[in-house]
Amino acid sequence: MSKSKRNGGLRFQPAGGSRAPQVPVGKKQRLAIERLAGDGRGIAFVEGRTWFVSGALAGEEVEARVLNAHGKVVEARLERVFSASPERREAPCRHFERCGGCNLQHLPHADQLELKQRLLAEQLQRVAGVAPEQWAPPLSGPEFGYRRRARVAVRWDQKAKKLDVGFRAEATQDIVAIDDCPVLVQPLQSVMRHLPLLLQSLAKPQLIGHVELFSGTALAMLVRHTGALGEADMARLQAFCAEAGVQLWLQGEGAPAPAEPGRELGFALEPWNLTLAYRPGDFVQVNAGVNTAMIEQALDWLAPQADERVLDLFCGLGNFALPLAQRSAEVVAVEGVQAMVERAAANARSNNLNNVRCFQADLSQPLSASGWAAEGFSAVLLDPPRDGAYEVVRKIAALGAKRLVYVSCNPATLARDTLELIKQGYRLKRAGILDMFPQTAHVEAMALFEVG
């Protein structure tokens, strides 16, 4: 219901009414944390307002500082713990109190997994009124040293005449100066340690927009620049990359391109002897170990047979489509962005998989208008973005698939789409979390649906 309908359409308080004063930014407040929110923040209630406190745990007495306040909601960050939860641990990263990248480092990894499992179960029950017939154990890997891709924030401070390099602070556009990040894979940690000094040494550092780091079949560094880089600065970047064994990629107004033509970048799916080409800016799962375990579980649950046709929706570069093709008669891989469709098709060809057909389609709309959808499928795999696949799943039973695996990065939209699948006669057979982002409250999940 809109705000105007809730208050009768009045923009201002009626005569004689009063509006409670807003909580000022920076104010400190003592709070009793009752539980954790879906994003891992602690929840407290004071004088009709709901406080969300990052860094706080359930059962704690804390002092929090206000970051933002609107209406009855106050966002705050932990300042001091008066009474600590027995679950609390000292955050392993020295930047934890300011950096906005990881928000659960104060919670042991086993408790992080339990929290994510509970959040998934609550969403499925609250929205779809269902629990899976079987819960799968969490898929997880090392809690640190897992991230093979990172975007490094860069900003020129005109007043101080200096370049800030690091990651965004929580709830602000401030950049926390960072030259070490324990969640990065080890090769990228080494690059990160020397990156700030390199960028700050450039003659025109104000031309740098941001930097992306990637570790796959090669190490790579993408430099996004807002103007033409001078010869001296290009030489510095190239010398740094040559010494570090890193490919240099550049992006001005056009698409990313390697500084040295012919350079190739990709990532391996070792259990299937596959290599997928990748370009900076393409979507790729950041956690290689959990990605492999996720594919293995999807293949096990979907169980494609040698004579079956399988549909892979939101296929990206072919992360699922290519392993599926090794086990089935044909895979139809569908993606919304034409450039990604072309890259998926090229990846199939380069891996000698001739039973993959790739198509572009608007996956925010029903599939009925697509010619390939009329052919029918034995099984379907979906890996949609955060907003889910509502329009796709509304009529997915018409495809004839008896088995469906849904890989989700948002439990709320998974639960919403689960309700639609149940209406069409599917049963939720299995579900479980995928710990793709340890130290954060981000929940990924996999669900298996079967007809009957």
444 is known to lie in a ligand binding site? no
314 is known to lie in a ligand binding site? yes
308 is known to lie in a ligand binding site? no
300 is known to lie in a ligand binding site? no
Structure token pair of residue 30: 């003592």
- The per-residue DSSP string of 321-370 comes to HHHHHTTSSEEEEEESSHHHHHHHHHHHHHTT-TTEEEEE--TTS-STT-
CA distance 381 to 322: 12
Angle among Cα 250, 252, 257 to the nearest 5 degrees reads 35
Smallest CA-to-CA distance from 401 within 327, 332, 336 is with: 332
CA distance 214 to 147: 9
The answer to whether 376 touches 402, Cβ cutoff 8 Å, is no
362 is known to lie in a ligand binding site? yes
383 is known to lie in a ligand binding site? yes
Cα-only R_g, the chain: 24
Catalytically annotated residue among 241, 315, 358, 409: 409
Q: Across-strand partners of 247?
A: 220
285 is known to lie in a ligand binding site? yes
The answer to whether 288 touches 241, Cβ cutoff 8 Å, is no
* DSSP state at residue 202: S
CA distance 388 to 394: 12
13 is known to lie in a ligand binding site? no
Please say if 409 is a catalytic residue.
yes
CA distance 316 to 334: 8
CA distance 104 to 238: 37
Output the known binding site. Answer: 93, 99, 102, 181, 285, 314, 319, 335, 362, 383
User: Catalytic residue numbers?
Assistant: 409
Output the known binding site for S-adenosyl-L-methionine. Answer: 285, 314, 319, 335, 362, 383
Output the known binding site for [4Fe-4S] cluster. Answer: 93, 99, 102, 181
